[in-house]
Amino acid sequence: MTHFAYRDGVLHAEDVPLPAIAEAVGTPFYCYSAATVRERFRAFADPLADRDHLIAYAAKANSNLAVLHLLGREGSGLDIVSRGELERGRRAGIPAGRMVFSGVGKRRDELEVALDAGVLTINVESAGELEALDAVARARGQRAPVSLRVNPDVDPETHPYIATGLRTTKFGVPIGGARDLYARAGSLEGIEVVGLDCHIGSQLTSVAPFLEALTRMQALMEELRADGHAIRHLDLGGGLGIDYGQGDPPRPGGLVSALRDGLAGWQGTLILEPGRAVVGEAGVFVTEVLYIKDQPDKRFLVVDGAMNDFLRPALYGAEQPIRPVREGSGSDWQEVDVVGPICESGDFLARQRRLPPFSTGDRMAVMAAGAYGATMASNYNSRPRAPEVLVSGDRFQVVRRRETVDELMAGESLPGEDWFG
């Protein structure tokens, strides 16, 4: 279940009515349910309780410190892809020893920081990165713990922008060349081979591609063991989809149990990197109707949230459920476009969507916005980023306040007078 439900016609996050939050912080805002976050994390962790495992939550889905802290207290590790995410994890109290460092383009300074911090493993994505990491580690008299991210060439059947496990994407090392690169890794003084990694894509709505990837990775793991590599962990990445109102994808418990059963004879550590499935349904994005604008062929609801706040509809054509914060009595549903104030026709939260009647000043919640919402926000059109609010029971806390207009320009400066002669 999620913890967003109507009580007396008012949408609540756990026991807190969303209008109470809107009155406290204004709109637009993000709101997260701590109970849903915990519940979803446990859905991954519980089926693995009796085997070695690490749930390395993918920070990119939602990297608010409070969310990371909640997860850290549950025993979560972190899948990080930048120095910034590493630092967030540390400040949230997640030990570096529970972090895996992924990403196709890690900079040298990021590799250094990761080695200093003592991350569990660096998921290396190319021969070039392997050599660079070896050099960095040797220069520091260290050995870098490494897994190669292998691209198993499995079709995840998802949006092309978020499919990563196909041969044609930029990610990972082709599975056919993995053994050779492991041999190279094994010969490098600055590298210690510790594991094997893959991640095939995001918003997967069936278990089959995961199982196919598992089969291929297991076969490779056997070969690598025969080659003499100590593969202590197998990381199968993230990618499980959530319910955006278009059908019910498999739940974490089903996926994890299938993976666990597939690995029954193997004693190593199973690592998973779920992001969306942990936090997606734990959040909503709330925005207010500014104007109702009737154009010749269309009705537009102009709201105060925009593509800079919530990019998924504009970038992927994502369709996420929209619900009124207060249920109205009117039954005349209408087809509308929900659009933001940004000067682009691509600035929409929904297009040609049948919604219940809304009036100026009414609020709506974009559901399942806890993942890839706030983390993909920008300041486009010089719009301060929206606040984030965490709810637990009948309490709420602003865990990121609204950005100010001054903060927007804090790092900028005017050229000196001497520039103008």
Q: Which residues bind ligand LLP (CB under 6 A)?
A: 58, 61, 79, 102, 162, 199, 202-203, 237-240, 273-277, 312, 316, 371-372
Q: Using CA atoms, how far apart are residues 70 and 74, in angstroms rounded to an integer?
A: 7
Region for 286 from its dihedrals, namely left if φ exceeds 0, alpha if ψ lies in -120 to 50, beta otherwise = beta
Identity of the residue, 160 or 228, whose beta carbon is nearer to ligand LLP in the bound complex: 160
**For the chain, how many helices (H) and strands (E)?**
12, 21
Rounded least distance, CB 156 to ligand LLP, Å: 10
Query: In a 3-state reduction of DSSP, which class is residue 104?
Result: coil
DSSP bridge partners of 269: 233
Q: Token digits for 107?
A: 């900079």
Q: Using CA atoms, how far apart are residues 298 and 350, in angstroms rounded to an integer?
A: 13
**What DSSP line would sit under 335-350, residue for residue?**
EEEEE-SSSSTT-EEE
Q: Which amino acid is at 66?
A: A
Rounded least distance, CB 276 to ligand LLP, Å: 4
**H-type alpha helices, 238-371:** 252-262, 276-279, 312-316
**What DSSP line would sit under 147-196, residue for residue?**
EEEEE------S-GGGB-SSTTSS-SEEGGGHHHHHHHHHH-TTEEEEEE
Identity of the residue, 21 or 287, whose beta carbon is nearer to ligand LLP in the bound complex: 287
Catalytic, out of 226, 264, 343, 405:
343
Show Cβ contacts of residue 2 under 8 Å, excluding neighbours closer than 6 positions.
Answer: 33, 36, 281, 282
Rounded least distance, CB 221 to ligand LLP, Å: 18
Rounded least distance, CB 359 to ligand LLP, Å: 31
Active site residue 343: yes
Identity of the residue, 221 or 277, whose beta carbon is nearer to ligand LLP in the bound complex: 277
String of b and e for 265-295 (b: at least 16 CB within 10 Å)? ebebbbbbbbbbbbbbbbbbbbbbbeeeeee
Identity of the residue, 190 or 201, whose beta carbon is nearer to ligand LLP in the bound complex: 201
Identity of the residue, 199 or 229, whose beta carbon is nearer to ligand LLP in the bound complex: 199
Asked if 377 contacts 67 with a C-beta cutoff of 8 angstroms, the reply is no
Rounded least distance, CB 274 to ligand LLP, Å: 4
Parallel, antiparallel, or unpaired for β 233-235 and 283-295?
unpaired
Rounded least distance, CB 225 to ligand LLP, Å: 23
Identity of the residue, 351 or 401, whose beta carbon is nearer to ligand LLP in the bound complex: 351
Give me the active site residues, please: 343
